[in-house]
Amino acid sequence: MFTVTIERSFTAGHQLTMPDGRPEEFHSHEWLVECAVAAEWLNEIGVVIDFNELDKKLDIIIGPFEDTRLEKLPFFKKHGINASAENVAKYIFDMLEPQLDADMSLEYVQVTEAKACRAKYSK
């Protein structure tokens, strides 16, 4: 199995709602997103997926996150869920996975919101 990873970053703020309904203080992070794509075989040019192609797919997904308050984005607002690192990772995974060729698998999406604070989503 061959696996490639790509990292992208964005700056955004969030304000989680605690179980008692109290909002935490609004704060921003320089978020780091890592995606791992795997394939049993390399394609005709000897790669799992072209890094530029994967970059473009990920940029389209996370582009709207840049300089925003994540809870205001349609997905989080519509579903009324916290824009936690865990939910951000799952959202990116769910948006990226269907864009990959059938012979590829999205192994995981990992989101780091602060040094040593990360969440990973995989199936």
CATH number of the domain enclosing 37: 3.30.479.10
Token pair for residue 123? Answer: 């199936």
Q: Which residue has the tokens 């799992």?
A: 48
State both tokens at 58: 């990920």
Residue 79: the pLDDT is: 86
What does DSSP say about strands 68-69 and 27-39: parallel, antiparallel, or unpaired? unpaired
Residue whose pair of structure tokens reads 């199936």 in the numeric block: 123
Number of independent structural domains in the chain: 1
Scan for tokens 């970053």, then name that residue.
Answer: 9
Mapping DSSP to helix (H, G, I), strand (E, B) and coil, where does residue 49 land? coil
Residues of the chain with pLDDT under 70: none
Residue 5: CA count within 13 A, CB half-sphere = 11
Can you give the residue range of the structural domain that contains 39? 2-121
